[in-house]
Each structure stands twice: as C-alpha cells, then as structure tokens.
Structure 1
C-alpha cells in the first residue's frame, strides 16, 4: 500500500520542531532588544557616600579595612571575612539607615545592607 504524499509547506515533524525552535529564539532575541534601560537623570540629588567610622588605636575594630566589600551581596562567608579583616570580635548586619540598639561595643563591626542585600557601609560600635 503506497503512503499518501502530504501536501503543505512543512511535512515532517522534525522540520516543524526546528521551525518552532527558530521562531521562539527569534522572538526572544527581539524581545531582549526592545527592553528599555532604566532612566536615571543626572541631578544634584545624590545619596551620601558610605561612611566608615574609625575608632581609637587601642580598639581592635578598624572599619576602613572593610571597604573592599562595598556593593557586594552580603552572606555569612563575606561577613566573617569582613570581621576578620577589620580585627573585630563580632559582626552583625542591619538595614541601612536604622539606628543601632544600645549598648555600643567598639570591638563589633556593624555592616549596613540595602534592601537588595548589598553592603553600603561599615562601622564599629
């Protein structure tokens, strides 16, 4: 029994899958090209730079040694490395701009973190 010949543009299943994959990749490429960059106007309203409070020489914590971590996402290994590099006895994170609870410990490193989880400042206390 002869196999009936199919009519149409694409007759095999494999060819249909290849065409579908090419069309999908092309649409994703075009969608990526049309994404608009975030508009950030140049104004004088710039956030203040990160602050690094230094303590007297007799204290162990040296917050300036934590500058390498600015802009990096905070996690436990990074916090421990910051604590080690600053010579502090302990370290903790807090949301940027929130006052720290008393009592202050001059040998403790306080790391300020923005809502995205990035290090924005470090200080002792």
Structure 2
C-alpha cells in the first residue's frame, strides 16, 4: 500500500472517531437536559406566600350622598347618618379648610365643619 493511500485511510478513521465522539457527547447532553429534577419538600426556610390587600372600590365612599347635611348643625347622630348614606367605613370631622392628614383612607368620610358647628363640606379620604 502506498504511503499516500495509507495516510488517507488513517485520516478517515480519525474523522469517523471524531464524529462518533461528537454524537456521543450530544446524546449525553440531551439526556442530561431531559432528566427530572429531584423532589425537595418545602422546609421552614421557604418564604411565606404573598398576601394581597383588598383596596376598597372608589364607590365605597360616595360624598355626594351627604349633600343633604350641608348647612345643618353637626351632632353624632347626623355624622353617623352621613356615614351610613355615603357607604363609608368610618367618619371624622375637621375644621373647614384643614388639609387631610396622611395616610388617606378612601373609605373614610371627612366632614368639614365651620366655627359655628355647621357642615360646610364632605369628602372621602
């Protein structure tokens, strides 16, 4: 066998070996990707699940329903009636023109009262 034919034979064997090795590596890689993850039960180290806060709808407080009380003298019964008619969860009074303290509660009725004790405005927040 001439030397040129022998070197071609050896290089074809090497090429076949390289192709076979690449195929084996690819098969092992694909098999590794398809393996199932190990089962790990929850432990005390797991963070607690998230909690969701229910925000009242804008309709929870309807200050327009308190218009009947404008100009009337405020007393506890009128304040409670205003709270009930507006659908608010709570009510409070403040002097007219006073800014609302933070944090504002959209379900709370704020009734503004003038120095004579008359209702001059009602708003939510």
Interval of TM-score (by shorter of Structure 1 and Structure 2): 0.5 to 0.7
Deviation, structure 1 residue 100? 1.3
Alignment match, 2:60: 60
Alpha-carbon distance in 2 for matches of 1:76, 1:89: 15
Deviation, structure 1 residue 57? 5.7
Higher helix share: 2
C-alpha RMSD over aligned residues: 1.5
For the structure 1 residues 59 and 95, does the alpha-carbon distance in structure 2 shift closer, same or farther, using more than 3 Å as the test?
Answer: same
Alignment TM-score, normalising by the size of structure 2: 0.54
Unmatched runs of 5 consecutive residues or more in structure 1: 1-55
Alignment match, 1:42: none
Deviation, structure 1 residue 59? 3.6
Alignment match, 2:79: 79
Q: Is contact 2:93-2:111 (8 Å) kept? A: yes
Query: 1:112 is paired with a residue of what secondary structure?
Result: strand
Alpha-carbon distance in 2 for matches of 1:75, 1:85: 16
Unmatched runs of 5 consecutive residues or more in structure 2: 1-55
Alpha-carbon distance in 2 for matches of 1:118, 1:83: 16
Alpha-carbon distance in 2 for matches of 1:60, 1:71: 24
Query: 1:102 is paired with a residue of what secondary structure?
Result: coil
Q: Is contact 2:70-2:118 (8 Å) kept? A: yes
Deviation, structure 1 residue 58? 4.1
Alpha-carbon distance in 2 for matches of 1:58, 1:122: 15
Alignment match, 1:108: 108
Query: 1:97 is paired with a residue of what secondary structure?
Result: coil
Q: Is contact 1:59-1:106 (8 Å) kept? A: no
Alignment TM-score, normalising by the size of structure 1: 0.54
> How many residue pairs are counted as aligned between the two chains?
70
In terms of Rg, which structure is larger? 2
